[in-house]
Amino acid sequence: MAQTIGKTTWPPLPYEDWRETAATLHLWLQIVGKIRLTLTPWLNHSWHVTLHTTARGLSTPPMWHQGTSFQIEFDFIDHRLIVRTDDGRVAILPLVSQTTKAFYHHVISTLEQLGLPVQITTMPNEIADAIPLDVDEAHGTYDPEFAHRYWRILAQAGRVLEYFRSNFLGKSSPVHYFWGSADLAVTRFSGREAPVHPGGIPNLPDWITREAYSHEVSSAGFWAGGEQYPRAIFYSYAYPEPMGFARASVSPSIAHYDEILREFVLPYDEVRAAASPESMLLDFLQSTYEAAANLGGWDRRALERTGASRG
* Structural domain of 214: 144-303
- CA dist 215 and 194 (Å) reads 4
> How far is CA 51 from its chain centroid?
8
Q: Flag whether 308 is in a domain.
A: no
State the average pLDDT over residues 137-153.
Answer: 98
pTM of the predicted structure, to 2 decimals: 0.95
Q: Are residues 67 and 174 in the same domain?
A: no
How many helices, marked H, and strands, marked E, lie in the chain?
Answer: 7, 12
Chain segment 238-258, per-residue pLDDT in tens: 999 999 999 999 999 999 999
Are 156 and 108 members of one domain?
A: no
- Residues 225 and 266 reside in one and the same domain: yes
179/290 same-domain check: yes
| Per-residue pLDDT band at 307 (split at 50, 70, 90) | low
Whether the per-residue pLDDT at 220 is higher than 80: the answer is yes
To the nearest whole number, what is the mean pLDDT of the chain? 95
Domain assignment present for residue 127? The answer is: no
Question: 289 and 194, same structural domain?
Answer: yes
Residue 134 located in a structural domain = no
Are 172 and 24 found together in one domain? no
pLDDT at 6: 44
Q: How far is CA 72 from the centre of its chain?
A: 17
Asked if 194 and 240 count as a contact pair (C-beta separation under 8 A), the reply is yes
pLDDT in tens, 2-23: 334 345 689 999 999 999 999 9
In a domain, 129, yes or no: no
The CA distance from 97 to 206, in Å, is: 34
Same domain, 182 and 271: yes
Residues 197 and 63 in one domain: no
Domain count, the chain: 2
Contact 20, 27 (CB under 8 A): no
